[in-house]
Amino acid sequence: MGVGLDHKMVRVKLATGEKKRGEFRKEQDEIRHKTGKGRPSWNRIAETLKEAAGKTLGTQKPPMSPNRKQAMDNHSRATKRFGQNPHKPETKKELREAKEEKNRASEQHEIK
């Protein structure tokens, strides 16, 4: 096996997800059997696997990392609550002012 082959296998892995070397050989043999030709190039295998993955995983999304999911949940919750993106500087300023005003009002109420 040459160095170029390993590089192409990495491209195939990236295209389809993690697989073992033996599985690549098995799929390569299946493609050869279907086409009736000699061992196909790794590029052709990658294209075939991409097409197969596209058909089966058309509507599925890749799993989101827990941290990113939490961040998305926090963001959507904040936008629902405040009606705008709370991370923008202008909005932060507005929210800070509203909070200060609310605190001032509650202090005035306590004083009375």
Helix axes 3-16, 21-35, angle to 10 degrees: 90
Residues of the chain scoring pLDDT < 70: 1-24, 27-28, 31-33, 35-41, 53-62, 81-87, 111-112
pLDDT at 3: 37
pLDDT at 88: 73
pLDDT at 1: 41
pLDDT at 63: 74
CA angle (61 as vertex; 60, 67 as ends), nearest 5: 150
- Whole-structure pTM value: 0.25
Eight-class DSSP state of 62: P
Helix axes 42-56, 21-35, angle to 10 degrees: 90
**Helical H segments across the chain, by residue range:** 3-16, 21-35, 42-56, 66-82, 89-111
